[in-house]
Amino acid sequence: MILDKIHNLALYEKLNPLFPVAFDYLRKTSFADVQPGRYEIQGSDVYALVQEYTTRPRSQGRWEAHRNYIDLQFMQRGNELMGVANLGDLKPLNDYDAVKDAEHLEGEGVFLVVPEAYFVIFGTEDAHMPCLEAGQANTVKKVVLKIRAT
């Protein structure tokens, strides 16, 4: 897992050959004007999910993990609490869904507040629990870049 300010993206470009494509999209897009939805960046290798929602109580969260995609979650507006845990520290709740590239798990992890203008990168070894209240519910606008793991 990586947590950093958006202006430090360049520090991480060499970690995956698709990161420069994803990071360029983040740098060049004014998300204040982008409506929620899915946006293709480079076919199925890199795409964006622009989301607006109200954060929910931690008790309503659930651990998720992906095998084929890395998640880069950028907080365009607002903040939220996110959990992270190593897959080896959690137990699967169900079988991996290859169509959704998702597995749900149970167990304990570490939680941190991700403020506006910060991003988090969750690798395929990281389970995560996003969309949680950081003290109280608030409306956020978040961009989730799905980047194929290489």
Q: Kindly report the CATH number assigned to the domain that includes residue 96.
A: 2.60.120.370
Res. 12: pLDDT tops 90? yes
**Confidence check: pLDDT of 79 > 90:** yes
Residue range 22-72, pLDDT digits in tens: 999 999 999 999 999 999 999 999 999 999 999 999 999 999 999 999 999
- Mean pLDDT along residues 78-107: 96
Q: What angle do CA 69, 119, 63 make, to 5 degrees?
A: 55
pLDDT of 150 reads: 84
Q: Which amino acid is at 104?
A: H
Structural domain count, the chain: 1
Quickly tell me which residue has 């109280």 as its tokens: 136
At 111 the pLDDT is: 98
Which domain range does residue 22 map to? 2-148
Residue 74 has pLDDT above 90, yes or no: yes
Torsion sign (Cα): 63, 12, 116, 44: negative
Structure tokens at 116: 């506006």
Amino acid residing at 2: I
Instruction: Dump pLDDT digits (tens) for 109-121.
Output: 999 999 999 999 9
19: enclosing H helix or E strand: helix 19-28
